[in-house]
Chains A and B, each alone.
Chain A
Amino acid sequence: MNTNKSLDDYTVEIQECVKCGNCQAHCPVYNVTHREGGVARGKIALAASLLAGEIKLDKRLREDISLCLMCGSCVNKCPNKVPTHEIVGAIRREITESRGLSLIGRAVSTVIGHPKLLKTLAKSGAVLSPVLLAKVPSASGLRLRFHSPVMQKRTLPQVTFTNLFERYPEFIQGDPEKPVVGIFSGCSTTYLYPDTGAAMIEILKHFGYSIYFPQSQVCCGIPALSTGNGKLVEKLAATNISSFAKHSVDYILTCCASCNGGIGEHYRSMKGDTGNFTDKVMDIHVFLKKQGIFDLIEKMSIWENQTRVTYHDPCHLKTQGITKEPRELLNVLPNVDYVEMEGADLCCGLGGTFSVYNYDYSKQIGARKIDGLKECGASQIATACPGCIMQLQDSINHAELPITAIHILELLEEALKDRLT
């Protein structure tokens, strides 16, 4: 079984922080709090003091450690690539081990640890309806990720009643000459945005790929990671790895950046052998580009009424260096007039369960996108992560702008709509 690293395992990385302060320029939390405890450098200093036994997991330390989106923006720009997001994860696991899970952490684990319960809850639709909120047991993982009594003002997507698992079989045979792709859909896509998931599957079908979509797959583990529930992450990882071992696949594709970070980056950072699971994990946009699909799209005739669309970099793609592919796709889409916005790479502010604990900060972080969005004149903001879509739409609604947040794949589906049947 693959196990998470402990704080001790990061001793060397922690020493590699040279205290330059560069992370201040890139940390979304620091940019709203302007407080050293919020930034990577501060957290690394605390981690070093913990290792040296100079401080305990006391209240202020726990607060500072909770103030992290685990977005990796700091890591990306850190000259020494100190993996603050992983180190924060390790400290959160220590906190959980010594003090037990927080209320939210417990609820998240109840739901995402029990796929059946998650399905039932999501199906009721009520899970996300503010009106019915009071009646919903406090155990809904999704609700907890995106909703809590302290964030009643959050605006939420319309809930659809058939989830992605109900719409597709486990296996769809395509052109035998073409690769078999596994689909890891993830909770948000499966239950909240199944249309995005459906778009991905329809597109892949259209281009002739065989599809393996195991229904035994479970949550990627990001929410659990974010609440410090290391045991659950390990359990989920084991289930997912074995789900995809049942059928031979060439790729495991995601259309959710967070899931990609979860089943790719995080599983890779775990101790133990994941076989070739993590090597197969690939973001859908990268896959389409590698398969030459962008070139086919580029040949389509340009629409008369293009929609002006801009792009938001999901942290979990940005930190893996995936910034070009989604933009290239937007650029070649015949139905899209693509414009770059200022602050495209600023975090949306969701950050796993961060926004549950810190909705006010989360909102302030999200609001930093608004000026750039207004200026660029787009009527849609496309991105590659359902979590970002929800958070961006919430920020947009609060700013009362006539803009919608959508997934790039929906634009691609629109472009192909005459061909997809």
Chain B
Amino acid sequence: MIEDRIVQILGEIVGSTNISREKADKITHSYDATQQSYLPDVVVYVKNTEQVAKIITLANKEKIPIVPRGAGSGFTGGTLPIMGGIVLVLTRMNRIIDIDTDNLTAIVEPGVVTGQFQKAVEKLGLFYPPDPASLAFSTLGGNVAECAGGPRCVKYGVTKDYVLGLTMVTPTGDIIHTGGRTMKNVVGYDLTKLFVGSEGTLGIATEITLKLIPKPEAKKTMLVYFETIDGAAQAVSNIIKNKIIPTTLEFLDAATIDCVRKGSGLDIPQSCHAILIIEVDGDADILDKQTQKILTIVQPSGVIDTRIAHTHEESEAIWAIRRNVSPSLRKINPDKFNEDIVVPRSKVPDMIRAIEKISREFDVPIINFGHAGDGNIHVNIMVDLKQDGMKETAHKALDKLFTAVIEMNGSISGEHGIGTAKSPYLNMEVDECTVSYMQTIKRIFDPNNIMNPGKIFSRDS
């Protein structure tokens, strides 16, 4: 419980209409895309860095948990107020402060929606590549906090590759500035990289300086239907072996295809058990040649049919299928354990086989799709938790899955982060000594453990 006195001060900082203890507001700020829910004590909407600094200073003094919240689209519980406290909402800090077309940089507030930012820079002939499937609604602040990635990252890299500098409010309420507007910068420690992906546990980003690149002149999207998932995986290896790095190399497995078949508007052949979405970009005159080359390379791997998008709309229609995959899985079973493992690219077929084995062993449907190009597979274990013992079964399957991942020199999360959902597994991947260094850093920044407490490090780690 938070005392009235504190609510009063918070109201003075942000204005009484931007703070609420109403039940309805607590409910609408209690969840994220994990579908779990924990009620906060207070919900606060902020407008600027100074307000954030004042609130954190107060919370640090009074030892009240603070949970930053962007769009609440996180998949690992990052913005769940598991210990109550203040949910600090950043969606109204949504100004694009500057787009510098001479130096190809931009400065934004954290609540800017990724896709809207991309549209704004593309109008000026520039390009911000990181493209999580949630780009139409996730915020840049949330992307930075989770180091979001997406299909295009196989060629262009992930969010951290585009963050040049940050204004951060630390857990003690100090306002610090990391990095800057230049492409090179080696002055002092690289705190920017430390903050990116820190899941709101080391402070709140209130201003973000991003790197932009020139917008590729054109792109071409292909949809390739395969007989088998092995064939699709083989095709991916062959493309890369031929030294072509497409912009995207996304795959959907057979179960995923079943989920989207109806809504896709495409008539996907029944014999198709895997789909690759391949996109290339660059100068218009080389694209056709590249497309042909790729199609020739993949042909021997059991291709049933291919479709090439000729217009922007056709290309968007293909991407809409991919973006709708994750939310449409509910058709299979009501509850999902959604993992985003990564393995070295060449291990993708082995990993898929290992997952099939786990699915058979525990008799649970497992659906795979994701970024074949960088070995990042979204593994969805679909269960009905209302069934007896299902939770345990799912956890056993997860243990097996992660063990297999680590054995293949992979990682248990490529882009969604750890949050609360994966914190019990942190120690499987990161050795004890390293975890303890991470925790030491957390303690130095946040001596009172008020900044998104209980995330990343599970209580027993």
Contact = CB atoms under 8 A, between A and B. Distances in A.
> Which of A25, A36, A45, A78 neighbours the largest number of chain B CB atoms within 10 Å of its CB?
A36
B111 to A, nearest CB: 7
A18 B327 contact: yes
Interface string B90-119: 011010000000000000000101010000
Contacts of A15: 334
Contacts of A54: 23, 27
A46 B326 contact: no
A184 B381 CA distance: 50
B23 A60 contact: yes
Interface string B262-299: 01000000000000000000000000000000000000
A19 interface: yes
B220 to A, nearest CB: 23
Nearest to B111: A34
A15 to B, nearest CB: 7
Interface in A1-43: 15-16, 18-25, 34-37, 42
Interface in B69-98: 71-73, 89, 91-92, 94
Given A15-B334, A55-B23, A80-B328, A25 B115 contact: yes
Interface in B1-60: 20, 22-25, 27-35, 37, 45
Contacts of B73: 20-21
A177 interface: no
Given A22-B137, A80-B330, A55 B33 contact: no
B136 interface: yes
Contacts of A46: 24, 27-28
B327 A55 contact: no
Contacts of B34: 19
A64 interface: yes
Given A25-B115, A25-B136, A34-B91, A61 B31 contact: no
Contacts of B37: 45
Contact of A34 (B20, B92, B324): B92
A15 B334 CA distance: 9
Given A24-B71, A42-B28, A49-B27, A60 B20 contact: yes
Contact of B327 (A24, A59, A64, A79): A79
A20 B28 contact: no
Interface of A is mostly: helix
B134 interface: yes
A21 B71 contact: yes
B134 A36 contact: no
Contacts of B20: 60
Nearest to B320: A77
Interface string B154-190: 0000000000000000000000000000000000000
A400 interface: no
> Which of A16, A21, A78 neighbours the largest number of chain B CB atoms within 10 Å of its CB?
A21
A21 B72 CA distance: 7
A22 B327 CA distance: 9
A166 interface: no
Interface in B306-331: 324, 326-328, 330
A95 to B, nearest CB: 13
B138 interface: yes
A60 B24 contact: yes
B308 to A, nearest CB: 23
Contacts of A24: 71, 113, 136-137
Contact of A64 (B28, B71, B263): B28
Contacts of A79: 263, 324, 326-328
A25 B324 CA distance: 14
A25 B327 CA distance: 15
Contact of B45 (A18, A35, A49, A78): A35
Interface string A46-65: 10010000110011110110
A20 B111 CA distance: 17
A399 to B, nearest CB: 20
A80 B111 CA distance: 26
Contacts of A37: 24-25, 28
B32 A19 contact: yes
A54 B328 CA distance: 28
Contacts of A60: 20, 22-25
A57 to B, nearest CB: 10
B28 to A, nearest CB: 4
Contacts of A59: 22
Nearest to B20: A60
A35 B91 contact: yes
Nearest to A20: B327
Nearest to B138: A21
Interface string A276-314: 000000000000000000000000000000000000000
A45 B27 CA distance: 7
B195 to A, nearest CB: 23
A36 B72 contact: yes
Contacts of A21: 32-33, 71-73, 134, 137-138
Contacts of B134: 20-22
A19 B23 CA distance: 19
Interface in B197-240: none
A327 to B, nearest CB: 13
Contacts of B33: 18-21
Nearest to B87: A36
Nearest to A38: B28
Contacts of B32: 19, 21
A57 B32 CA distance: 23
B186 to A, nearest CB: 38
A238 B94 CA distance: 48
A20 B32 CA distance: 7
Interface in A236-260: none
Contacts of A16: 330
Contacts of A58: 22-24
Interface of A: 15-16, 18-25, 34-37, 42, 45-46, 49, 54-55, 58-61, 63-64, 78-80
Given A46-B27, A60-B22, 14 more contacts: A18-B35, A18-B330, A20-B73, A20-B327, A21-B32, A21-B33, A24-B137, A34-B94, A34-B111, A35-B89, A36-B72, A54-B27, A63-B24, A80-B330
7 contacts: A15-B334, A19-B32, A34-B91, A54-B27, A60-B22, A60-B24, A80-B328
Smallest CB-CB A-B distances: 10 pairs: A79-B327, A25-B136, A42-B28, A60-B22, A60-B24, A21-B73, A24-B137, A34-B91, A61-B24, A36-B28
